[in-house]
Each structure stands twice: as C-alpha cells, then as structure tokens.
Amino acid sequence: MSVSCHLVTADGSGRIPPVSESGSADANLDAILATAEHDRERLNSNALGAFSLTLLGVASVVGAGIFVVTGDAAAHYAGPAVLISFVLAGIVAGLTALCYAELASMIPAAGSTYSYAFAAFGPFVGWFIGWDLLLEYLFAASTVAVGWSGYFVSLMDSIGIHIPHALAAPPLGDNPGIVNLPAIAVMLLTSAALWLGTRESAVANNSMVLLKLTILVLVVVVGVFYITSSNLEPFLPASTGGFGDFGWTGILRGAGIVFFAYIGFDAVSTAAAEARNPKRTVPIGLIGTVLIATVIYVAVGFVLTGMLNYRQLGVADPIAAALQAGGNDLDWLLKLTDIAAVVGLASTVLVTLYGQTRIFMRMSEDGMLPPAFGKVSGRTKTPQFSIILCGIVGGAVAGLVPLSILGELISIGTLLAFIIVSSGVVMLRRRRPDLPRPFRVPALPLVAGTAIVASLALMATLPGDTWIRLGVWAALGLSVYFLYARKHSAAKMEAVLARAQAEGG
C-alpha cells in the first residue's frame, strides 16, 4: 500500500530530520501525519459523518452516568443544585474537548490521545499515555458491561426469566458468584459487530443511541407534569459543616462527581481515520457530544429532583425511584427506561471497544506493538486481531472483576490523558505554528490551563489505593516499552519517513 503525502518540516525545507531512539520531535509529527494518510487508504475512510461521530460520542458519554451519577450527586452533595454541578462539569469537559478538537483538526490520526502525545512529547510519553488509555477504554468497556449485566438481569426478571446470581456476578467482591456471564456476552456481541465493519457498527450504534435518547426525552417531557415544587426547595441545601456537604462547596464536590459522567467524549477522535473530512467533522463531533450531553444531564437532573426529594435519590437506579414516586400511571415509562438502560449501555460498550481497537492499531503502525495489532482485513477494513483480543480480554475482566476496582482505575487514567492533551495543544502551537489548524482553541492558555488544573484537582480526590494501582500499571508498561516498543518504534519511524520522502518527492 503506497503513501501519498507531502511533508512540511519545521524549517520549511522539506528535509527529513534524523530519528534517534528518543525521537526527533518534528520527525515524530511528520511520521504521524504520513501514517494518518496511510490509515485512510486501508480503512473505510468515508464510514462516519458528523452525525454518526456525534452519536458515537453521545453513546459513550450518556451511558451509566445518567442512570446512577445524577441521584448520587444530588442526594449526598448538591441537592437540586446538582443542575449547576452538571453545568460546571460540562464547562470543564468542554474546555478539554476544545483542546481535543484543535489537535484532531491538525492531526487526523486514529490514535487520538496517544498520537497527540507522541507528536507533542515524543515516543516515551506517547507509549505511556497509550498504555494508560487501556485503563480508559478497555477497562471502561468492561465496567459498562458489568453495569449492563445488572440492568439486563433486572429486565429479564421483569418478564419472568430468572438468571441465577452465581452466573451474573464475579467471583470477587462483597457478594461473589461464579462468573458474570451477561457481561461476557455483551462484550463478545459488540466485538462481533465491530468485526463486521465500521459502517455496519455505526448503523447499529446510531439506532441504539436514538432509541436511548428518545426514551430519556420521554422521561423529561412526561416527568415535568409530576414535579412537586416543594421537592426543589431549598434549591441549594445549607452546608452541614464539612467541605462538599451541600452549600456551594457541595456544588463543587458534585461537579467533581458528575464530571466522570462526561468521560468518553474523546472516543470521537479515535475515529478520525474513518471519518469523512475529519478536520471538520471530528471537532463537530467532539463539541456536539459535550453540548448534547450537558443538556440531557441538566434536563434529567431537573426532572428527577422535582419528582422526588433529593434525599431519596441516592439509590442504584434514581430514574426508576423518581418514576415510581409518580405512581402506577408511569409503570409503562418505567419499563421503557429499563430498555433504554440495556440498549444504551450496550452502545457504550460498542463505542468504547471501538476506540481501544483503533488505538491498538495506531500503536502497532508506529512500532509500539507487534504488527498483528495493526493488520487490517481487506474485506471488512477493520483491525480484526485487535477486535478479537479486546473482546476476549475485556470479557474476561468483565466476568471476573468487581465494578468498584475498575471504576477508580478508569477515572485516574482518563484524567491523566486529559492533562496530556491539554498540555500537548499548547506545546504544538508553539513548536509547529506552520501546520494548518482548521479549528483553533480560542484563548488557548486560559482554556488549556483551566482544563489541566481541573483535571489535577479531580485526580487529587481519588483514593490512595488508586494511585498505587496506577503506579503498578505504569511500571508494567515501562518494562514493555524498554523491552520492545522503544527499539521497534524508532526503526518504524525511520522507515515511514524515508518512504514518505521518496514518494512525496
């Protein structure tokens, strides 16, 4: 497969700088731009438009959070003022999305955060964040699969089909079983959909997301008529003394809690190689995802806190609790929300697995992983080995590991990725001002600085055990880097740049 690409070097001469093992900064970026063109030639580069990209992001963001996080933040931290918490979290997520949008418009590569880190900081940081993204994507898919299993078991019970606890719970945790079979099943089914092709899986995702959004809109439209004004008073409960226990500090603490509901919007940027006109459509998908998610979260939060006193929303399924408070008249809507949860969480698993397989593919093309990870089927135009591996490993994790451990790992991994992206957009703006940027972050220092500080603050709230697990994970990743990735990546970058220079003249 040939690569047709004109390289623009930092000095404008067209000469390719040498690549050392540590990597020349400009050579790394030039190589990534060349391989981005190569990806578009071997993948289905017109599979996703702006609409599908936005729904891809919405599938990832409007997932488990809308069915759990809203009630938890309202009951324990912010009361009805959780609406303000969602707006604040949406602003922070939006600032990060702006940084992603500029990098995606400049570097339309499938690797997302990994490729941006490689371009801005070199192969070492690129590998580190690529390894870290395993926590965000593969483990996140497993986490959502575990959540999906709970809703699926409940839905089956409601129609008279009982799934034994031993076959729907992992062998670890407070209430162990043998294995979580439903979680494994949804991982394998979504992997099969990805195997068939990007366009086909996009059609399935779009259908599931539209069904989920339709039911959530119904919850809002119908629920408005069951709002009791007394439930919204006081809108901001008084502080009980501790930081985050209602009052304005409760709103801030609530914003930190609900921010994790926005995790996943960056999955849009992993689709750059399969998007039509990615320099335009990927930024639209990123920003559109955050805007739509914020509107949905605020609307649902308003209805829930209006239908049921906020103190009663701290349950596993706050939407169901609010609808039950509306009486038997809302039984039909209660059943629909169960369907929305099952369908919606399946779409989240699909999109999250999609992002991980494309990151594996991109890392393989850069020499960071063995060639099998980057091999693309000529028939389906999908990285089939990566899809199979993610389905098997993700399914095993979902079937055996409890939800609580997975959730904390995902949070710290994602926030670290956000910090790297926000720093990278500043670095590349200074180092490579020559590269075209169809989308530019306005007031970049303020936007990127706020995103970095907010992410660091949220990381600081995570338990010490989570930091220890991150350290262990990083140590394992570093051993792989020095034993394999460093040498192979340097050689691959040299080969890509030499080929691109020869073919581009």
**pLDDT tens-digit series, residues 77-86:** 888 998 998 8
Lowest mean pLDDT among 99-108, 331-340, 454-463: 454-463
Q: Helix, strand, coil: what percent of the chain each, to 5? A: 75, 0, 25
Three-state helix/strand/coil letters over 306-345: HHCCHHHCCCCCHHHHHHHHCCHHHHHHHHHHHHHHHHHH
- Give the pLDDT of residue 267: 86
For tokens 């999250």, name the residue: 352
**pLDDT tens-digit series, residues 251-282:** 888 887 777 778 778 889 988 889 999 889 99
The answer on pLDDT for 68 being more than 80 is: no
The rounded mean pLDDT for the chain is 83
Q: Could you give the percent of the chain with pLDDT greater than 90?
A: 31
> Using 50, 70 and 90 to split pLDDT, how confident is the model at 2?
very low
Average pLDDT over residues 161-181: 85
> Using 50, 70 and 90 to split pLDDT, how confident is the model at 482?
very high
Closest to 50 (Cα-Cα) out of 356, 429, 439: 439
Q: Which two tokens stand for residue 441?
A: 């972050």
The answer on pLDDT for 8 being more than 70 is: no
> Using 50, 70 and 90 to split pLDDT, how confident is the model at 244?
low
> Using 50, 70 and 90 to split pLDDT, how confident is the model at 409?
low
Distance CA 367, CA 109 (A): 15
- Predicted structure pTM score: 0.83
Closest to 85 (Cα-Cα) out of 302, 294, 254: 254
- Give the pLDDT of residue 458: 78
- Give the pLDDT of residue 162: 92
Q: Which two tokens stand for residue 429?
A: 């703006």
The answer on pLDDT for 55 being more than 90 is: yes
- Give the pLDDT of residue 295: 93
Distance CA 130, CA 44 (A): 23
- Give the pLDDT of residue 207: 92
Q: How many CA atoms lie within 13 A of 441 on its CB side?
A: 30
List of E strands, 310-445: none
**pLDDT tens-digit series, residues 422-478:** 999 999 999 888 888 899 999 999 999 998 998 888 777 777 777 887 888 889 999
- Give the pLDDT of residue 501: 67
**pLDDT tens-digit series, residues 118-161:** 888 888 998 988 888 877 787 778 888 888 888 888 888 888 89
Cβ proximity of 405 and 412 under 8 Å: no
Average pLDDT over residues 14-20: 41
The answer on pLDDT for 370 being more than 50 is: yes
- Give the pLDDT of residue 19: 40
Q: How many CA atoms lie within 13 A of 341 on its CB side?
A: 30
Name residue 22's amino acid: S
Using alpha carbons only, give the angle 266, 271, 275 rounded to the nearest 5 degrees. Answer: 130
- Give the pLDDT of residue 63: 74
> Using 50, 70 and 90 to split pLDDT, how confident is the model at 24?
low
Average pLDDT over residues 220-240: 89
- Give the pLDDT of residue 10: 40
> Using 50, 70 and 90 to split pLDDT, how confident is the model at 4?
very low
- Give the pLDDT of residue 60: 86
* DSSP-based three-state secondary structure for 499: helix
Average pLDDT over residues 323-338: 88
The answer on pLDDT for 317 being more than 80 is: no
- Give the pLDDT of residue 7: 40
- Give the pLDDT of residue 288: 94
- Give the pLDDT of residue 444: 92
